[in-house]
């Protein structure tokens, strides 16, 4: 067990949490960051480190990994205490308004403010039914190394941003890319969709996986039989890899039991990013308010707002912005 | 006179407006981007193109000009219609919820929604009193090129982020740097002030400019301690007066939206009091507002995605619903 004493504890080391740490550092606050994953980057590192992201301000194209590396370098300049690979479990608010957080590794953090940046929580991919023998071999739910798809005939399953982005990412790497979606309409941004339809990716809508054909012992795939949800017509696709991007189950874990008011799995916040408990702020995908967008660039903005309000909350003599400092 | 018809008109081509143009394109919206300056980039291009910016998420350090170049490049695939050197003068709402904007060149833009990213409006630097004779002869209000100060003895006047950042940026370029501020409290990020005090910059607080010496260029500046009136001659040949800016919203003030002082009130969707007119960035006001570039970016994404729903009520705020 070790004990830490900081100004603010950030729960969640995804992009929002890392950037909140950066800004807290600019405001000369001491910071601890707790995350259940053993690496920083949250969803980005875990789910799409190699995916090229286009919607981060100032980055026409950046991979998830590069973005996280930039955020880690920024945050590290202020030397936050990283408590990675640990789940923040215990949450106590003391009478003087300070907090004690404990982790499942018995680390104890005393602090005066908390920023919750847990995103969607811990997530696991939705699995393709009846395909267990191929999981981790021919069938994957996310790709950490793009090269694993080189020269394969790839089938991407799904109709969300993730499926569309993966298909576009692999078009120049795989030998062929086919995308199937069980509906006609996509849940994806218009821009990438337009690129998808202009690309060499073969897109089959109203189509789902019927059966994977291959060596169940080795987990290798020879073909996938798909079926039209319209006509019932079957078709055999000669693919050797399947990437099922069917979304994720998310679980907030112990944070959901903390004495904060949740709306479903989200924390309502005001425009200072305060929750209903004084000194506890929330940012990023976990928050909700009218018009809320779950985007990395929105989370970055929220991180800056929260960190600056934390600075003023902890020392009412400083201003929210830009901070008066005695020489 | 051009007759342009677009989904979204963005007023202000600073970082927030440029990112909004990108995001609108990403949502499949056509855009016009209007700015009274002739180059994109707003305050960043006009005031600190060469300054290192440390607080853009994902960029440990980026120069102002590079950030703007990258934002322009990011928006470029969606072909925004730039109307640079145009001021947005009039806003005429139509019964169908769309608008016509008339620019100072009498161009008319018919648009389904409007996003105001006007920053601090039209801005002019606060002048150093009785020093106009030296403007362009060693006295500047912002540093467009760091190299213009190479090997100079530089005096920086001011106590805000700009003054502190210029002092830090000129270290290693200028031969000597002195920063004077009339108070002992800085209006700058704590971290920057700590760096300043640890740097080789000579910092004099409670100090103001008395007179600038020199017939043609600057040969020295007499400063005084405003507590003791003690005077001192600083042997400098360049002065950067970073005293902030006077700004004016211009014609926006006459538009049918609620303005609080110099700022536009917005709800959490970044919509102003007029349906279909959104605002983002430094120009907006709400409880808890923080005027920083990353916040402007987040607000731009929020505004554009909510504007997309205003333009097409069958669209989803996120992630956008399209038909294959």
pLDDT in tens, A140-184: 998 878 899 999 999 999 999 889 999 999 999 999 999 999 999
CB-neighbour burial class of residue A145 (10 A; exposed 0-12, middle 13-18, buried 19+): exposed
In this structure, the strands spanning B52-53 and B62-63 are antiparallel
In a domain, A324, yes or no: no
CB atoms within 10 A of CB A3: 10
A300 in contact with B, Cβ within 8 Å: yes
In a domain, A200, yes or no: yes
Residue B1, pLDDT score: 55
Residue pair B221/B234 in contact (Cβ under 8 Å)? The answer is yes
Residues A240 and A171 in one domain: yes
Helices (H) and strands (E) in chain A, counts: 6, 25
Cβ separation A293–B289 shorter than 8 A:
no
CA distance B153 to chain A (A): 22
Mutation for testing the A interface, residue in B294, B312, B316 having most A CBs under 10 Å: B294
Residues A6 and A57 in one domain: yes
Residue A321, pLDDT score: 64
Cβ separation B19–A298 shorter than 8 A:
no
- B74, B271, B290 member nearest A304 (Cβ): B290
Residues A114 and A14 in one domain: yes
CB-neighbour burial class of residue B13 (10 A; exposed 0-12, middle 13-18, buried 19+): buried
- B185, B197, B322 member nearest A185 (Cβ): B322
In a domain, A289, yes or no: yes
Cβ separation B56–A57 shorter than 8 A:
yes
CA distance A316 to chain B (A): 14
- A71, A159, A323 member nearest B190 (Cβ): A323
Residues of chain B with pLDDT below 50 are 319-324
**In angstroms, rounded to a whole number, what is the distance separating the alpha carbons of residues A35 and A86?**
6
- Of the residues A214, A244, A274, the one at which a domain ends: A244
Residues A104 and A57 in one domain: yes
Residue of B nearest to A197 (CA): B324
Residues of B in contact with A323 (CB under 8 A): 187-190
Portion 161-190 of A in contact with B at CB < 8 A = 161, 181, 184-190
Residue A173, pLDDT score: 96
Residues A191 and A133 in one domain: yes
**In angstroms, rounded to a whole number, what is the distance separating the alpha carbons of residues A93 and A83?**
20
Cβ separation B25–A191 shorter than 8 A:
yes
- The residue with tokens 């202000």 is B12
Residues A100 and A132 in one domain: no
Residue B186, pLDDT score: 92
In a domain, A223, yes or no: yes
Cβ separation B57–A193 shorter than 8 A:
no
Residues A110 and A12 in one domain: yes
For residue A322, say if its preceding peptide bond is cis, omega within 30 degrees of 0.
Answer: yes
CA atoms within 13 A on the CB side of A191: 20
- At B3 the three-state DSSP class reads strand
Q: Which long-range contacts (CB under 8 A, 24 or more apart) does A89-93 make?
A: A89/A254, A90/A254, A91/A254, A91/A255, A91/A258, A91/A259, A93/A259, A93/A277, A93/A279, A93/A280
Residues of chain A with pLDDT below 50 are 323-327
Residue B125, pLDDT score: 86
Element holding A293 (H helix, E strand): none
Cα A142–chain centre separation: 13
Mutation for testing the A interface, residue in B282, B290, B292, B299 having most A CBs under 10 Å: B290
Beta strands in A95-215 (DSSP E): 99-103, 108-111, 113-116, 122-125, 139-140, 153-157, 176-180, 185-186, 202-204, 207-215
Residues A115 and A19 in one domain: yes
CA distance A153 to chain B (A): 22
Residues of A in contact with B269 (CB under 8 A): 290-291
- Of the residues A198, A228, A244, the one at which a domain ends: A244
The boundaries of the domain holding residue A52 are 2-123+248-314
Residues A164 and A272 in one domain: no
Residue B86, pLDDT score: 94
- A22, A181, A325 member nearest B190 (Cβ): A325
ipTM: 0.82
Element holding A15 (H helix, E strand): helix A15-26
Helices (H) and strands (E) in chain B, counts: 6, 24
- Of the residues A190, A223, A244, the one at which a domain ends: A244
Range list of H helices, B177-254: 190-198
Domains identified in chain A, total number = 2
Residue of B nearest to A198 (CA): B324
Residue of A nearest to B21 (CA): A57
Length of chain B: 324
Residue A324, pLDDT score: 44
Residues A91 and A154 in one domain: no
Residues A195 and A260 in one domain: no
Residues of B in contact with A271 (CB under 8 A): 268, 286-289
Give A208-265 as a DSSP string.
EEEEEEEETTTTEEEEEEEEETTT--EEEE--SEEEE---EEEE-GGGGGSSS--BTT
- The residue with tokens 């005695």 is A326
Residue pair B214/B193 in contact (Cβ under 8 Å)? The answer is no
In a domain, A326, yes or no: no
Residue B318, pLDDT score: 67
CATH of residue A166: 3.50.50.60
Residues A96 and A19 in one domain: yes
In a domain, A321, yes or no: no
In a domain, A296, yes or no: yes
**In angstroms, rounded to a whole number, what is the distance separating the alpha carbons of residues A116 and A101?**
12
In a domain, A280, yes or no: yes
């Amino acid at each position: 067990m070790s004990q830490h004493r900081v100004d603010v504890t950030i729960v969640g080391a995804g992009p929002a949490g890392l950037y909140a740490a950066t800004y807290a550092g600019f405001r000369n606050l001491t910071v601890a960051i707790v995350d259940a994953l053993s690496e920083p980057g949250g969803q980005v590192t875990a789910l799409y480190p190699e995916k090229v992201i286009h919607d981060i301000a100032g980055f026409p194209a950046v991979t998830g990994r590069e973005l996280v590396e930039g955020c880690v370098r920024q945050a590290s300049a202020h030397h936050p205490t990283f408590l990675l690979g640990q789940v923040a479990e215990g949450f106590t608010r003391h009478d003087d308004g300070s907090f004690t957080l404990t982790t499942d590794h018995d680390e104890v953090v005393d602090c005066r403010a908390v920023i919750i940046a847990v995103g969607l929580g811990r997530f696991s991919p939705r699995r393709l039914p009846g395909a267990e023998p191929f999981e981790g071999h021919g069938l994957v739910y996310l790709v950490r190394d793009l090269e694993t798809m080189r020269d394969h005939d790839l089938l991407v399953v799904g109709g969300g941003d993730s499926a569309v982005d993966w298909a576009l990412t692999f078009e120049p790497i795989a030998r062929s890319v086919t995308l199937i979606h069980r509906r006609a309409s996509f849940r994806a941004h218009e821009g990438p969709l337009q690129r998808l339809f202009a690309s060499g990716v073969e897109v089959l809508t109203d189509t789902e996986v019927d059966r994977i054909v291959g060596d169940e012992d080795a987990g290798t795939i020879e073909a996938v039989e798909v079926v039209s949800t319209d006509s019932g017509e079957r078709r055999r696709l000669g693919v050797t890899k399947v990437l099922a991007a069917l979304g994720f189950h998310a679980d907030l874990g112990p944070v959901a039991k903390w004495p904060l008011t949740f709306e479903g799995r989200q924390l309502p916040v005001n425009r200072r990013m305060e929750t209903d408990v004084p000194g506890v702020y929330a940012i990023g995908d976990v928050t909700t308010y009218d018009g809320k967008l779950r985007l990395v660039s929105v989370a970055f903005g929220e991180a800056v707002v929260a960190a600056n309000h934390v600075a003023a909350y902890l020392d009412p003599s400083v201003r929210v912005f830009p901070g008066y400092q005695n020489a | 006179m051009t007759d342009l018809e677009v989904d979204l008109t963005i007023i202000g081509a600073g970082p927030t407006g440029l990112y909004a143009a990108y995001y609108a394109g990403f949502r499949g919206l056509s855009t016009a981007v209007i700015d009274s300056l002739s180059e994109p980039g707003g305050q960043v291009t006009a005031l600190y193109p060469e300054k290192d910016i440390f607080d853009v998420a994902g960029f440990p350090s980026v120069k102002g000009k590079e950030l703007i170049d990258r934002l322009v490049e990011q928006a470029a695939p969606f072909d925004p219609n730039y109307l640079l050197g145009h001021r947005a003068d009039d806003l005429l709402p139509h019964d169908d919820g769309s608008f016509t904007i008339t620019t100072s060149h009498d161009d008319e833009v018919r648009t389904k929604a409007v996003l105001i990213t006007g920053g601090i409006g039209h801005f002019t630097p606060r002048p150093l009193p009785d020093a106009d004779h030296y403007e362009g002869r060693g006295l500047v209000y912002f540093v467009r090129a760091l190299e213009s100060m190479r090997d100079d003895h530089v005096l920086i006047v001011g106590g805000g982020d700009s003054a502190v950042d210029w002092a830090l940026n000129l270290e290693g370029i200028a031969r000597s740097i002195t920063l004077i501020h009339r108070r002992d409290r800085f209006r700058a990020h704590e971290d920057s002030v700590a760096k300043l005090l640890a740097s080789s910059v000579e910092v004099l607080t409670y100090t103001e400019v008395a007179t600038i010496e020199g017939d043609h260029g600057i040969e020295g500046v007499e400063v005084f301690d405003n507590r003791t009136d003690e005077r001192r001659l600083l042997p400098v040949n360049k002065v950067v007066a970073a005293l902030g800016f006077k700004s004016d919203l211009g014609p926006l003030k006459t538009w049918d939206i609620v303005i609080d002082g110099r700022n536009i009130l917005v709800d959490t969707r970044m919509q102003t009091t007029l349906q279909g007119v959104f605002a983002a960035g430094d120009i907006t006001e709400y409880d808890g507002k923080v005027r920083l570039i990353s916040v402007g970016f987040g607000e731009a994404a929020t505004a554009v995605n909510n504007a997309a729903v205003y333009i097409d009520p069958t669209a989803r705020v996120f992630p956008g619903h399209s038909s294959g």
